[in-house]
Amino acid sequence: MSNPIIEIQNIARHFKVGTELIKALKSIDLTINKNEFVALMGQSGSGKSTLMNILGCLDTPTEGAYTLNNKRVSDLDDDSLASIRNKEIGFVFQTFNLLPRSTALENVMLPLVYSGITKDKRIAMATDALHKVSLADRMNHRPNELSGGQRQRVAIARALVNNPSIILADEPTGNLDSATSVEIMKLFQDIHDNGNTVVLVTHEEDIALHAHRIVRLKDGSIESDILNKN
């Protein structure tokens, strides 16, 4: 039985550049079920980043409906979207987006500050998240004292700490060498195996092949949506 966590219907996103109307997304329909591991693929300009921004509630569609975890989010105001982002979505970015002067533990605790959780509980939750990514021994290190792979693990722990509905990863291996990329993708596989829904945006075929389903975008439309038999 399907259990949709993401449902988008007739989603379009238009941008005005001068007098020209750019149709970045054209009438997209997509359903992602709970505990799926999906890769969104496409060349630059395909619309995958625009789609990711809408899925992550960082942007709102020009038209269409987006339902996340049974909440209609396409109609919400900015404050409500910010609350949804903090509670429902764990973000992992290519550039890690860590605070340079904060320790790994402090970086992971950051999303919890806005959740009204006591400091002791924040520390316990962040410590647990760092254990999950095998970085408990680095929790008092700052980003400049960590390797690229370790920094991405901190970012993944931060994404996990709130127990979000979905993990949204944007080119998470883009700044890593191939051996470290394999390690990070193994970690995403473990996260998925533990029951999380993972949506991965990438333009790299070998990275997309770690996902169980591959959705390809071209010119603002879905070109193909296939299960990965491997």
pLDDT digits (tens, 9 = 90+) for 39-82: 999 988 899 989 999 999 998 999 999 999 999 998 888 888 88
Provide CB contacts within 8 A for 226, sequence distance 6+.
213, 214
- Average pLDDT estimate for 110-116: 84
DSSP string, 166-228: EEEEESTTTTS-HHHHHHHHHHHHHHHHTT-EEEEEES-HHHHTTSSEEEEEETTEEEEEEE-
- The domain total for the chain is 1
Alpha-carbon span 134 to 128, nearest angstrom: 10
CATH code for position 185? 3.40.50.300
Does residue 2 carry a pLDDT above 80? no
Does residue 98 carry a pLDDT above 70? yes
* 17, part of any domain: no
Alpha-carbon span 98 to 101, nearest angstrom: 9
| Mean of all residue pLDDT scores within the chain | 92
* 4, part of any domain: no
pLDDT for the residue numbered 77: 87
Tens-digit pLDDT profile for residues 6-49: 999 999 999 999 999 999 999 999 999 999 999 999 988 899 98
Burial of 126 (0-12, 13-18, 19+ CB in 10 A): buried
Bridge partners for 28 per DSSP = 11
Tens-digit pLDDT profile for residues 160-191: 998 898 999 999 998 889 899 999 999 999 99
DSSP string, 93-146: ETT----TTS-HHHHHHHHHHTTT--HHHHHHHHHHHHHHTT-GGGTT--GGGS
Tokens of 138: 């680095």
pLDDT for the residue numbered 1: 60
* 7, part of any domain: no
* 69, part of any domain: no
* 86, part of any domain: yes
* 142, part of any domain: yes
* 18, part of any domain: no
- Cβ count near 193 (within 10 Å): 10
Q: What is the pTM of this model?
A: 0.90
The single residue listed with the structure tokens 């605070």 is 99
* 83, part of any domain: yes
How large a percentage of the chain has pLDDT more than 70? 100
pLDDT for the residue numbered 121: 95
Task: State the greatest distance between any 2 C-alpha atoms of the chain, in Å, as a whole number.
Answer: 55
- Domain of 168, in residue numbers: 34-62+78-227
pLDDT for the residue numbered 87: 86
